[in-house]
A = this chain, B = another copy of it.
């Protein structure tokens, strides 16, 4: 936890580029590439950057310079609506790629902010695209990641369009559980890095509604809540709830 100047100097090469040593390889761009190709990708990746809580990675309208792979921490992206209203368009966890929505116009259509201290790898976009023409596996992986983002957004669309507040929150909790478990954490216990307000802005709910629902889930034995520390107690019922079951027949009979 302590910072030592000497260490900084010694590790400078590994700080700059370390895809081949990164534990997130299997979730990130290098997935499916051979050693030589990973080395080529490494050369393109500029530097690792550390963000403190509430620091901005980029802002709405900024020119697209790079994509960012999350190494640790968590970020949120927010779209812009003039009046006070904000829409959180996504939460991003380690192994996920940020900024791909800027490729269309070469400008970021949303802002990205760190929810806690976070490390990101900066991948200059021009160089990445060029490299992708040379490494078919990289192009494939890039297209896959973009497609995954589309699928994720479409799932959110269904959530916001058709699900009740209860279903949305259950769905969101299950999503965090799933994504965090890939990182090796216990799938049923985690700490939310975002406020109730952020959750509400993501789920299209008022922060009070989020709070009330968490309390109710707790009362019903579905979860344990201590501030931002969450423990999922009944994954099956949560899964059912997220899937929209127990709606027709009033949730009483199974």
Contact = CB atoms under 8 A, between A and B. Distances in A.
Contacts of A145: 104
Nearest to A130: B136
Given A133-B136, A147-B146, A247 B79 contact: no
Contact of A154 (B79, B86, B161, B203): B79
Per DSSP, chain A at the interface is helix
A141 to B, nearest CB: 11
Contacts of A25: none
Interface string A145-174: 111111101111110111000000000000
A79 B136 CA distance: 31
B110 A154 contact: yes
Interface of A: 79, 81-83, 85-87, 89, 100-105, 109-110, 129-130, 132-134, 136, 139-140, 142-151, 153-158, 160-162, 201-204, 243-245, 247-248
